[in-house]
Amino acid sequence: MKKTKSIFILSKLSNKDLKKLECFFESPFFHKHSSSVKLFHVLKKYHPHYRKLPSQEEVYARLFDKPFDIKTWHLAMSRFYKSIEDFLAHVSLDKQNITKEQLILLELERYSNPAIVGEKIKQLKKVFDKTSDNASIRFFAKIQLEEFAFDYYSRLQKPESITNLQNLTDYIDDHFLYLRLKYSCELITRENILAQKFDLGAINDVLSYAKKKDNTGHISVHIYSNLVSLVKDQNEEDYRTIRKMIYDNLSEISPRDLRDMNVFLINYCIRMSNLGKSHYLKELFSLYKDLLEYGIIIEGSYLHLYDFKNIATVATLLKEFDWLVQFNEQYLPYIKHEFRESASAFNLARIAFYNQDYRKALNLLLHVQYADMYYELGGRSIILKIYYEMDDFQLFEANCNSFKMFLSRTKSISDYQKKIHMNFIKWSVRLFKLKEKGKKISKKFQGQIEETNELADRTWIEEKVLELTP
């Protein structure tokens, strides 16, 4: 028997979920095909790896008391897969409280009287106000509820329909503005990073309308209107305003929106730091500490590997080594198990490098399995700096050439990342040659570095410049 898409899904289920699926198959309310129940019991013995499966003819013989028929077999497999999809939908619906409540309201309209339906509408308004779902889901749920209430009360010729109509149009505005502003932030951020032009349409008109609603619209709309201004105009005052707005309204913003909003602030700080505004490195460190303290950066029970690396990078650049050691111990358990050893070794290599224990740093990096492109960029940068500090020009030059080849051949690296790392390599090489010849840096040379807007690891480059400044 081949490994079908049904078996693929079964292999991903935990033992607990497999038990739930068994109850689903055995329930006559959910299930009507005995062949699917039998097939489940045949396959569950092979969970979770599903190795050495019996042939389809052998399985068919356990399902049916008749000779093998390919059409009957395909029909049975199709029904089995459909049952698994129904199970997944059932499990998902059980988690989607808003959707479940909306479906209950629709059924109540069919089977109950106006008093019960009206009571349910009032109840759902309170539920939707308190939901922890992101603003888009919340606004859309409110739009659907107010639309239902308007239609329902209009048919009954009730005066409540006028209020529902006003609420409906207000929520439509909020939903539109929220989505338009949020994804405009994404587009502008990509313009800044990828040097790629997008059509932003009527964003200035949308922004103007959002500003007029600042005192009446949802806080998420208010924040995103300011975030558009921040990523568009790069105004430092906007950054301070937004950060205060977010942390003054934590209880009003969903966990998903808090993460998304702070990603824009993080990207802004990184961009400003790469442009030479070094005080943004401290601002970024402060921002990360707040995200950790409030648990905003933790998604489910995991800390993303990219965030773990970035936090460690900022801490090392600011020489916050004691804090970094504590961070590594406290938050390593939040990294997915398969990445923990490499993530820890990478952070310890950074600490060893800044403590000038270059051999230890190199040895630790040998044990790092790069889980993503950003870790590899970071690892290659550290190795290059190690050979610079060890005055080993031969290995330094070889790693520079290898690094440049990696940047040019790896298609998944954005143009922006390629540019800032190519500039890092270029200035590292020029600094090494000056150091090797015992020469000092001219003011012209120093000015050229300062004018290089896109530069990775600017803090380290500036340190090396100071060492060679007369």
pLDDT at 413: 85
Look at residue 238 and tell me if it is in a domain. Answer: no
Of 95, 127, 158, which closes a domain? 95
Per-residue pLDDT of the chain (470 residues; tens, 9 = 90+): 788 999 999 999 999 999 999 999 998 887 678 899 999 999 999 999 999 999 999 999 999 999 999 999 999 999 999 999 999 999 998 888 888 888 999 999 988 888 999 999 999 988 888 776 778 888 899 999 999 999 988 888 888 778 888 889 989 999 999 999 999 999 888 877 666 678 888 888 888 888 887 666 788 999 999 999 998 888 888 899 999 999 899 888 888 899 999 999 998 998 888 777 888 999 999 999 999 999 999 987 889 888 998 899 899 888 898 999 899 889 999 998 888 888 888 888 988 998 899 999 999 988 787 777 888 898 999 999 999 999 999 999 999 999 999 999 988 888 888 999 999 999 999 999 999 888 888 888 888 888 887 888 888 898 899 898 87
- Asked if residue 351 is part of any domain, the answer here is no
Question: Are 11 and 69 within one domain?
Answer: yes
* Structural domain contains residue 423: no
Residues 55 and 105 in one domain: no
- Look at residue 84 in the predicted model and tell me its pLDDT: 95
In a domain, 284, yes or no: no
Residues 67 and 146 in one domain: no
pLDDT of amino acid 162: 80
Global pTM?
0.72
- Are both 19 and 64 inside the same structural domain? yes
* Same domain, yes or no: 165 and 129: yes
Q: Are residues 87 and 118 in the same domain?
A: no
The confidence score (pLDDT) of residue 285 equals 96
Number of domains forming the structure of the chain: 2
**Listed residues 175, 197, 231: the one ending a domain:** 175
Same domain, 105 and 129: yes
Statement to judge: residues 16 and 77 lie in one domain: yes
Q: Which domain holds residue 61?
A: 5-95
Residue 429 lies in a domain: no
Quick one: 62 and 134 in the same domain? Answer: no
Residue 78 has a pLDDT of 94
Same domain, 70 and 128: no
Look at residue 188 and tell me if it is in a domain: no
SS3 per residue for the chain = CCCCHHHHHHHHCCHHHHHHHHHHHHCCCCCCCHHHHHHHHHHHHHCCCCCCCCCHHHHHHHHCCCCCCHHHHHHHHHHHHHHHHHHHHHHHHHHCHHHHHHHHHHHHHHHCCHHHHHHHHHHHHHHHHHCCCCHHHHHHHHHHHHHHHHHHHHHCCCCHHHHHHHHHHHHHHHHHHHHHHHHHHHHHHHHHHHCCCCCCCCHHHHHHHHHHCCCCCCHHHHHHHHHHHHHHHCCHHHHHHHHHHHHHCHHHCCHHHHHHHHHHHHHHHHHHHHCCCCHHHHHHHHHHHHHHHCCCCEECCEECHHHHHHHHHHHHHCCCHHHHHHHHHHHHHHCCHHHHHHHHHHHHHHHHHHCCCHHHHHHHHHCCCCCCHHHHHHHHHHHHHHHHHCCCHHHHHHHHHHHHHHHHHCCCCCHHHHHHHHHHHHHHHHHHHHHHHCCCCCHHHHHHHHCCCCCCCHHHHHHHHHHCCC
Q: Which of 95, 113, 146 is the last residue of a domain?
A: 95
Whether residue 128 lies inside any domain: the answer is yes
Residue 30 lies in a domain: yes
